[in-house]
Amino acid sequence: MSALQLIPRLTLTAVLDILVVAALIYNLLMILRGRRAAAILTGLLTLFGVYLVASWTRLELLRTMLATMAPYTAFAVIVMFQSEIRRMLARIGFRSWVSFGAKLERRETLEELMLAVQDMAQTRTGALVVIEREIGLRTFIESGVPLDAKLSQDLLLSIFLPGGALHDGAVIVQGDRVAAAACFLPLTMNPVSRNLGTRHRAGIGVTEETDCVSVIVSEETGRISIASGGELEPNVSAERLRERLAVALGLSGSVEPVRSPRKDRRLDPAQEA
């Protein structure tokens, strides 16, 4: 019997099986990349390698100790990787035809958001705006003050007015409406720059568990950052922010330049008359 005859035949079903498994492994690696869980996974694989070496070299004491710990590994993995497991299941369950959230489909709403962000960046007003996409944010909405108000530049500026009752916390946007303000968000547990404060950590943390997009304005520097999929892009321009939001929210058509904040609110003399 030749060696080729020992190799199983590569059927269409086998190819599909390989592709599905490869896709699952790829998504898992993308979720773990650059996070603390990656180091934990490396440690578990190292222990498994030590067990194989101990079995091969007949180090009975070490092999017995690792074998005794093995049955509890599954429970340890669930505890240590609970956030990553939730994120992976959320990605698997994400389908555009099963939508529990709302998209910012109206260009006018996006424009109002952009104008508010530009204004707050110029005045160095700290802000955190979370835009819901397909995965609902009801859990976080219920932690804040419900508003259910039409999103506008003036509303966002009023909410984040320094010293205001709703200044602390996040604003959550559903569709073209502000669902709630002063919402509490989970902080990311992954390593981030020491220069980032609680607002940035919360903006990253909520995107690790859902497919939402967070827009953060730094109170110290006025710089704009955007977070999505657990990754933060710091110090973005208004044009870059608009481009990221348009792509993330699936807005069709061309992306127009962002107008200067507040200037479009002024009427010309003929209109005032």
Q: What pTM value is reported for the model?
A: 0.62
* Sequential pLDDT tens for the chain (273 residues): 455 554 566 788 888 888 888 888 887 777 666 556 667 777 878 888 888 888 898 888 888 888 888 787 777 777 766 666 666 666 665 544 444 444 445 577 788 899 999 999 999 999 999 998 878 888 899 899 999 899 999 999 999 998 888 888 999 998 888 999 999 999 988 888 888 889 999 999 999 888 889 999 999 999 999 998 888 999 998 888 888 877 766 664 444 444 444 444 433 433 333
Q: Of 93, 115, 134, which residue constitutes the final position of a domain?
A: 93
- Distance CA(110)–CA(159), nearest Å, equals 17
Q: Has residue 265 been placed in a domain?
A: no
Amino acid at 181: A
Shared-domain flag, residues 84 and 167: no
Phi, psi dihedral angles at 88 (to 5 degrees): -65, -40
Phi-psi group of 5: left, alpha or beta (phi > 0 → left; psi -120 to 50 → alpha; rest → beta): alpha
Shared-domain flag, residues 201 and 86: no
Structure tokens at 24: 């699952």
State the pLDDT at residue 100: 42
State the pLDDT at residue 90: 63
Shared-domain flag, residues 114 and 71: no
Shared-domain flag, residues 112 and 237: yes
Q: Has residue 145 been placed in a domain?
A: yes
Shared-domain flag, residues 168 and 65: no
Domain with 163 in it: what CATH number?
A: 3.40.1700.10
Q: Has residue 162 been placed in a domain?
A: yes
Shared-domain flag, residues 200 and 165: yes
Shared-domain flag, residues 114 and 244: yes
Identify the domain containing residue 61 by its residue range. Answer: 7-93
Q: Has residue 38 been placed in a domain?
A: yes
Q: Of 45, 67, 93, which residue constitutes the final position of a domain?
A: 93
Shared-domain flag, residues 15 and 62: yes
Shared-domain flag, residues 153 and 198: yes
Q: Has residue 273 been placed in a domain?
A: no
Shared-domain flag, residues 74 and 204: no
Per the prediction, the chain carries an average pLDDT of 78
Residue 17: Cβ-neighbour burial (10 angstroms; 0-12, 13-18, 19+): exposed
Domain count, the chain: 2
SS in 3 state form for 151-201? CCHHHHHHHCCCCCCCCCCEEEEECCEEEEEEECCCCCCCCCCCCCCHHHH
Q: What is the length of the chain? A: 273
Q: Has residue 27 been placed in a domain?
A: yes
Q: Has residue 17 been placed in a domain?
A: yes
Shared-domain flag, residues 172 and 242: yes
Q: Has residue 269 been placed in a domain?
A: no
